[in-house]
Amino acid sequence: MRHALKEFALPVFAIAAALLLFGVLVAFAGIDPVEVWATLFKGAFGDWFSWQNTLQRAAPLMLTALCVALPARAGLIVIGGEGALVLGGLASAALAHAVPLPGNVVGTAAVCMAGALAGALWIVLAGWLRQYRGINETISSLLLAYIAIGIFKHLVEGPLRDPASLNKPSTHALNDGLLIGGIGGSDVHWGFVIGVLACLALGWWLRATASGFSVRVVGGNPRTAQLVGLPATRLILGACGLGGACAGLAGAVEVAAVHTNANASLIAGYGYAGILVSFIARHNPVAIVPVAILFGGFGAAGSLLQRRLGLPDASVLVLQGIAFVLILASEGLRMADWNALRARVPRGGEFGAGRAAPKANAAEAAQ
Amino acid sequence: MTADQWIALAAGIVGGALRVGAPFLFVSLGECLTEKSGRINLGLEGVLVLSAMAAFGGAYLTGSAWLGVLIGAVAGAALALLHGLLCSLDRVNDVATGIALMLLGTGLAFYLGKPLIQPQAPQIPAIPLGFWSDDAVVRSALQLNALVPIGVALAVLLWWGFARTRAGLLVRMAGDSAQATRALGYSVSGLRIAATTAGGFIAGLGGASLTLFYPGSWNEGISSGQGLIAVALVIFARWSPLRCVGAAFLFGGAGAIGPALQSIGMGWGYHLFNTVPYVLTLAILVLTCKPGSAAVGSPGELSSTRS
């Protein structure tokens, strides 16, 4: 229990320190830090309007964070979720245009499935390249993201463009019946619920099922996995596929709930912010939910910072960057008893491989 | 296509190889130095963007392009130093830190660089290579960034340094066997921090050539993954500074295909041609990586090539 508290306290301290440093930075720009913090809070969680904005942004963040978390539990650091997201959004819009779908839940589900499938294939490709060609998945997934964005722009501005979209090239809009609506008439769309359910379901999968457990073994200690004869490659590709499906679903949800068609607004950096969310949540799907809401809040507050205080829109990026650096540093500055606990856990082979799993092992050893 | 168009296209690609390849050259040399010491710096993407902004801002404020170059390089070294320090902490993983610094560097550059989007800064001088032609297109395409010869000299210097100097040997030892380095009484972290910082300084020169030479302005889409391509480039160049030169110009040429085609009026597939460097990188990785074994020439302690 004490350890669980520490696991929670460290990121909280790191984020608090990040806010402090960010305050120092804006103070240099001649802006009152207290006002910045107040505006951040107000823009993120101040009233119902802010909350709606925050939760709307949290939906894709949860799903793209899963695209980092699941492969990470299998020992892979995949950072190309942005590519899976844009291709997912494109696939969902393309399917909705090409096939006459029923304008009800079934049609919407089909649109979402198309997005998830496209995303899954894209990230499985990175996993495949690593398993069969020995290519570092961190680099390949990011290269694939840039390629995906190129394909996306080509198709949206060319073959899949709705001729009626003049200034902003877009695909044909989805029929009204296919759109994902708000919950109870609010601006928070059902994509938020989809995100939360995905996090909970995948958290349960990792924790309670045999295949989920196997994935964690493969990620935590490849040698053990080999000794007990786990099908490592299949498990790794499965984790990549599930993660990619989540990011692709995020794209489909953004198209069906926010933009109503696929256009360049889809390339909004949710994939990169998802990396941060997953790392802060220590690649734990359930912990992703609150972290995604927090970062959705930062994103929502960004425009208010810009309007009220005249800060550049990149301020939120700086805050995220500082938070990320401090969270990683806090990891290194942990208490000595943790060092002792962890020293007993053999390190995973590939870089980053041991990061998630030793934690689980250490937690078990502590009980 | 007419003959003129072919000449313009060829000049565009060759000129582009020299122009687009310049940042690749510096970033890959920086990454090569970092990786030789046994550490990987994915944050070089952030270093490149931040130093591009700092160089442009520096040149704008001081009125001197070369002071701008220096400021960019120092900014790059500072961010890389942060990477080096963070990675020396216990249990802090260099890939995760690299991703964090990529975000931080990009964020800081966008934040601090906001007022720099409009102004014009003094440029790095150009060395004309197109003097043999009367064609204006050819002439303007073959303008050589004055930093490029410096980069080539730096590559030779690094190659010589790794082979012949004590410092170079120490960096290679830290990269190949941390234990042996410790046994001889040297600090592995210290060597790696020094190599990472120097690598960031060199990458910072690449950032400067992004904003202080063609197109010569600061905007937020200035880098888009070139720092990361450099990481793959180093694998392709098998950790040899000399081979980095060839690799950088090959990638520069690949990156110039899209703009060169557009300049002669071929608009189709512009975005697809822009993905050529990324596709080429992946293709080269597919061809050079072998499953289950480290790449030829790879430093022994390098986490990204161990499997």
Tens digits of per-residue pLDDT, A168-220?
888 888 888 888 888 887 888 898 999 999 999 999 999 989 989 998 988 88
All residues of chain A having their beta carbon less than 8 Å from the beta carbon of residue B28 are none
Instruction: List the single residue in B with minimal CA-CA distance to A324.
Output: B100
pLDDT at A162: 84
* Residue numbers of A between 292 and 321 with CB closer than 8 Å to B: 312-321
Contact present, A69 and A249 (Cβ < 8 Å)? no
Query: How does residue A367 score in pLDDT terms, banded at 50, 70 and 90?
Result: very low
pLDDT of residue A355: 40
Mean pLDDT value of segment B108-127: 83
| Cβ pair A140:B282 closer than 8 A | yes
* pLDDT above 70 for A356: no
Q: Is B99 on the interface with A (CB under 8 A)?
A: yes
Tokens found for residue A362: 């250490």
| pLDDT at B306 exceeding the cut of 70 | no
Q: Is the pLDDT of residue B123 over 60?
A: yes
Give me the total of CB pairs closer than 8 Å, taking one residue from chain A and one from chain B: 165
| Disruptive mutation site among A24, A136, A157, A313 for chain B (greatest number of B CBs within 10 Å) | A136
Among B44, B20, B50, B22, smallest CA distance to B31 is for B44
Q: Which residue has the higher pLDDT, A23 or A355?
A: A23
Query: Per-residue pLDDT tens for A27-43?
Result: 887 888 888 888 888 88
pLDDT value, residue B159: 92
* Å between B276 CA and nearest CA of chain A: 8
Q: Is the pLDDT of residue B107 over 70?
A: yes
- Please say if the pLDDT value at position B231 is more than 90: no
Give φ, ψ of B127 to 5 degrees.
Answer: -100, 115
Query: b/e per residue, A54-79, with b = 16+ CB within 10 A?
Result: bbbbbbbbbbbbbbbbbbbbbbbbbb
Confidence label for A230 from pLDDT (cuts 50, 70 and 90): confident
pLDDT at B303: 65
- Name the DSSP class of A352: T
Confidence (pLDDT) at B272: 87
pLDDT > 90 in chain B, percent: 25
| pLDDT value, residue B295 | 66
- Higher-confidence position of B187 and B73: B73
Q: What value does the mean pLDDT take over residues B162-180?
A: 87
User: What's the rounded mean pLDDT across residues B222-248?
Assistant: 85
Nearest-Cα residue of chain A relative to residue B302? A351
For the stretch B9-31, pLDDT in tens is 888 888 888 888 888 999 999 99
Q: In chain B, which ranges are continuous DSSP H helix?
A: 3-36, 44-62, 65-88, 94-113, 136-141, 147-164, 166-176, 178-183, 188-211, 226-236, 241-263, 270-274, 276-288
Q: Per-residue DSSP letters for A74-100? A: TT-----HHHHHHHHHHHHHHHHHHS-
**B273 pLDDT exceeds 80?**
yes
Q: Which two tokens stand for residue A325?
A: 């650096």
Q: Tell me the C-alpha distance between A354 and A347, whole Å.
A: 5
Cα dist from B220 to A96, A164, B25, B134, B143, whole Å = 33, 29, 21, 36, 24
B292 and A CB contact within 8 Å: yes
| pLDDT mean across residues, chain B | 85
Average pLDDT of chain A to the nearest whole number: 84
* SS3 category, A264: helix
Q: Does residue A327 surpass a pLDDT of 70?
A: yes
Q: What is the pLDDT of residues A145-165, one digit of tens each?
A: 999 999 999 999 888 888 888
Q: What pLDDT, on the 0 to 100 scale, is given for residue B126?
A: 81
Q: Looking at CA atoms only, how far is residue A102 from chain B in angstroms?
A: 34
- What pLDDT sits at residue B142? 73
Segment B103-119 mean pLDDT: 86
Pair B56, B212: CB distance under 8 Å: yes
Residue A365 in this model has a pLDDT that exceeds 80 = no
Confidence tier at B53 by pLDDT (50, 70, 90): very high
Please name the residue ranges forming H helices in A99-231. Answer: 105-133, 137-157, 190-208, 210-220, 222-227
What pLDDT, in 10s, does the model give residues A76-120? Answer: 999 989 999 999 999 999 998 888 888 788 989 999 999 999 999
Contact B272 A144 (CB under 8 A): no
Q: Please indicate whether residue B199 or residue B120 has the higher confidence score (pLDDT).
A: B199
- Say yes or no for a CB contact (<8 Å) between A328 and B96: yes
Q: Residue A364 — very low, low, confident or very high, per pLDDT cuts 50/70/90? A: very low
Which helix H or strand E contains A364, and what residues bound it? Answer: helix A353-366
Contact B131, B123 (CB under 8 A): no
pLDDT at position A308 over 60: yes
Q: What is the pTM of this model?
A: 0.85
Q: B7: exposed, middle or buried (C-beta count within 10 Å: 0-12, 13-18, 19+)? A: middle
For A139, the closest of B231, B271, B303 (CB atoms) is: B231
**Average pLDDT score over residue span A325-352:** 58
The 10s digit of each residue's pLDDT in A1-28 is: 566 676 777 778 888 899 999 888 888 8
Predicted confidence (pLDDT) per residue in A77-89, tens digit: 999 899 999 999 9
Position with higher pLDDT, A295 vs B304: A295
pLDDT at position B189 over 70: yes
Coil, helix or strand at residue A135: coil
Say yes or no to pLDDT of A335 above 60.
no
pLDDT of the residue at A1: 55
Among chain B residues, CA nearest to A321:
B104
Average the pLDDT over A248-260 and give the result: 92
Sign of CA dihedral A8, A11, A13, A16: negative
Following DSSP, what letter does each residue of B225-240 receive, concatenated?
Answer: THHHHHHHHHHHTTT-
> What is the structure's pLDDT at A29?
79
Residue A82 CB-half CA count within 13 A: 24
Structure tokens at A120: 């899954």
Contact assignment for A134 to B289 by CB distance below 8 Å:
yes
Whether the pLDDT of residue A350 is over 60: the answer is no
> Could you tell me the maximum CA-CA distance found in chain B, to the nearest angstrom?
66
The whole-number pLDDT of residue A240 equals: 95
Q: Which residues pair with B128 in a beta bridge?
A: B143
Q: How far apart are CA B286 and CA B176, in angstroms?
A: 24
d(CA A338, CA A305): 39
- Mean of pLDDT values over A292-298: 91
Work out the average pLDDT over A313-330. Answer: 87
Distance CA B39, CA B139 (A): 42
**What percentage of residues in chain A have a pLDDT greater than 90?**
35
**What ipTM was estimated for this complex?**
0.85
Is B119 near chain A, with CB under 8 Å? no
Q: What number of other Cβ atoms are within 10 A of residue B132's Cβ?
A: 10
Share of chain A above pLDDT 70, in %: 89
Exposed, middle or buried by CB within 10 Å (0-12, 13-18, 19+), for B126?
middle
Q: Which of A346, A342, A341, A294 is nearest to A320 (CA)?
A: A294
Q: Could you give the angle at the alpha carbon of A279 between the alpha carbons of A196 and A206, nearest 5°?
A: 55
Q: For position A330, what pLDDT does the model report?
A: 83
Dihedral sign from CA coordinates of A277, A281, A282, A284: negative
